[in-house]
Chains A and B, each alone.
Chain A
Amino acid sequence: MAYSDKVIDHYENPRNVGALDKADPSVGTGMVGAPACGDVMKLQIKVSASGVIEDARFKTYGCGSAIASSSLVTEWVKGKTLDEAMAIRNTQIAEELALPPVKIHCSILAEDAIKAAVEDYRKKHGDTTAGHPVESSQQQAA
């Protein structure tokens, strides 16, 4: 598999690896994927009182493209409002990283991770207007 330079850069020097306190009310946690499929992404966002994502962390079990996709979205969501973050599309991620067709699912997973993290945050704050309910990591891991 020939990876693009950007994928290799994110894989070798992943941005924002780590964890935030998932019990913190200002933190939203999203976990998507399944070990049997070869990818699990956990994305966490820390949201300021004004509704702006001020920090993000990820942990990913997956191939180089999955690690790069999640690393990239932690950079992209920082400084964005929740609605702006929700507007990030997998096609933008795939284009930025020049993912080959067989790796497009990694970018879809990264988009899903953003949505899951935002919805977890909104759920914590009693906001159910975010659309269809998506199970967040807390429910899944319970």
Chain B
Amino acid sequence: MQLPVYLDYSATTPVDPRVVDAMVPWLGQRFGNPASRSHAYGWDAEQAVEQAREHVAALVGCDVRELVWTSGATESINLAIKGAASFYKDKGKHLITVKTEHKATLDTMRELEREGFEVTYLDVQENGLLDLEQFAQALRKDTVLASVMLVNNEIGVIQDIAALGRMCRDRGVLFHVDSAQATGKVAIDLASLPVDLMSFSAHKTYGPKGVGALYVRRKPRVRIDAQIHGGGHERGMRSGTLPTHQIVGMGEAFRIARAEMATENDRIRMLRDRLHRGIVALEEVYINGDMDQRVPHNLNASFNYVEGESLIMAVKDLAVSSGSACTSASLEPSYVLRALGRSDELAHSSIRFSVGRFTTEEDVDFAIALLKDKVGRLREMSPLWEMVKEGIDLNTVQWSAH
């Protein structure tokens, strides 16, 4: 077992060795520019890019002509939201998103606010899921686009994209879905989903960093204004020489995901459930986010009466993410957990565990034993735990704020 044990697959995944093997030739002797139309080097590279596009299209059930290569999900999200907002600005200037979205979406929306758009940021319920009725009420005549993520990166909950998309379609509102955390985890069939734009990333699904794709629906046709100009690649929607090796990597990663996701998800669910059982056996542990409408990879738990940063320090043999952003010098708790209505204390003491393709039972058992030991030790050291054990209700204590 290699330490620290990697339980942070939602941050990024290792590139599958089969993907590495597929990529390497395109860095060496097969170096051609896929846009070179006049010689065999170019034709060879173009063919590889198009084959990769077929693999991605097959995983998500769309036409190859509906996919645009990008540098990753952040660029895809920027292109989808800014591109559509710009193209359809004469229709209206209202956009809708959710408070628990990734910063790629929220920061893009903030930028559009500076440019004169009005944005509605919807709350979620305590389980992290959108209230469909509330979403319907937010849709207006001048709403151009709504953006909702399929799988949340922190708590792993799955939004009802089909229902949300139908509401958007009924009212003529474009619907963008951030699927960076979803590919290979939940089935996606764009042929039947009422979704107009969808963003993808390679590196969350055992592909390389630095490559992603944007789905842009053809029927009914969705238009976006390009955000990067120069050469008119990707049917004018995203210029720039295509990184053949990266694209081949994404294609191979998505091919493997399609072939293996059914059996892989069963195994991963078994591991996650094992971790879940081990963790809730400790006292005062709270699971964040709905446990049913959730990908099998994710577990997000708050360890009450233990401070988040010291918890992360205590579990340094585990590579996990903290809901507390203390480590980045801003003492802000996770905005996602705050949106669920979690107290600052619980938000601060949360850990996101995400298991994946190379996680073993041994890894999970190691994590459970370590948490049991360290959480116990920190609670022994905690005046809050002592007071709770004495029967004092901490909410009645008048703290000296500092």
Enumerate chain A interface residues (CB-CB to B < 8 A).
Answer: 1, 3, 11, 14, 17, 19, 31-42, 59-64, 66-67, 102, 105, 108-109, 112, 135, 140-141
Contacts and interface: CB of A to CB of B under 8 A. Distances in A.
Interface in B301-319: 305-310, 313
Given A102-B329, A140-B398, A141-B397, A35 B384 contact: yes
A67 B308 CA distance: 13
Nearest to A32: B400
A40 B384 contact: yes
Contact of B383 (A1, A36, A42): A42
B134 interface: no
Given A63-B326, A140-B398, 10 more contacts: A11-B310, A34-B402, A35-B394, A38-B331, A38-B345, A38-B348, A40-B382, A63-B309, A63-B313, A141-B387
25 contacts: A1-B326, A14-B381, A32-B400, A32-B402, A34-B399, A35-B384, A35-B394, A35-B399, A37-B401, A37-B402, A38-B307, A38-B308, A38-B331, A38-B348, A40-B383, A40-B399, A42-B386, A60-B381, A60-B382, A61-B306, A62-B307, A105-B402, A112-B402, A135-B398, A140-B398
B400 A33 contact: yes
Contact of B313 (A33, A36, A64, A135): A64
Interface residues of B, number: 32
A64 B309 contact: yes
A108 B384 contact: no
Contacts of A62: 307, 310
A135 B81 CA distance: 53
A34 B384 CA distance: 10
Contact of B310 (A17, A32, A63, A141): A63
A41 B313 contact: no
Nearest to A135: B400
B327 interface: yes
Interface of A is mostly: mixed
Contacts of A60: 381-383
Contacts of B400: 32-34, 135, 140
Contacts of A67: 310, 381
Interface in B91-145: none
Contact of B402 (A17, A33, A61): A33
A102 B392 CA distance: 31
B380 interface: yes
Contact of A1 (B309, B344, B384, B399): B309
A61 B383 contact: yes
A73 to B, nearest CB: 15
A131 B394 CA distance: 28
Nearest to B398: A140
B381 A33 contact: no
B402 A63 contact: no
Contact of B326 (A38, A42, A135): A38
Nearest to A17: B381
Nearest to A141: B397
A139 to B, nearest CB: 8
A38 B310 CA distance: 10
A108 B402 contact: yes
A59 B345 CA distance: 17
A64 B314 CA distance: 9
A58 to B, nearest CB: 8
A140 B399 contact: yes
B316 to A, nearest CB: 10
Interface string B358-395: 00000000000000000000001111111100001010
Contacts of A1: 309, 326-327, 329
B390 to A, nearest CB: 9
A34 B326 CA distance: 16
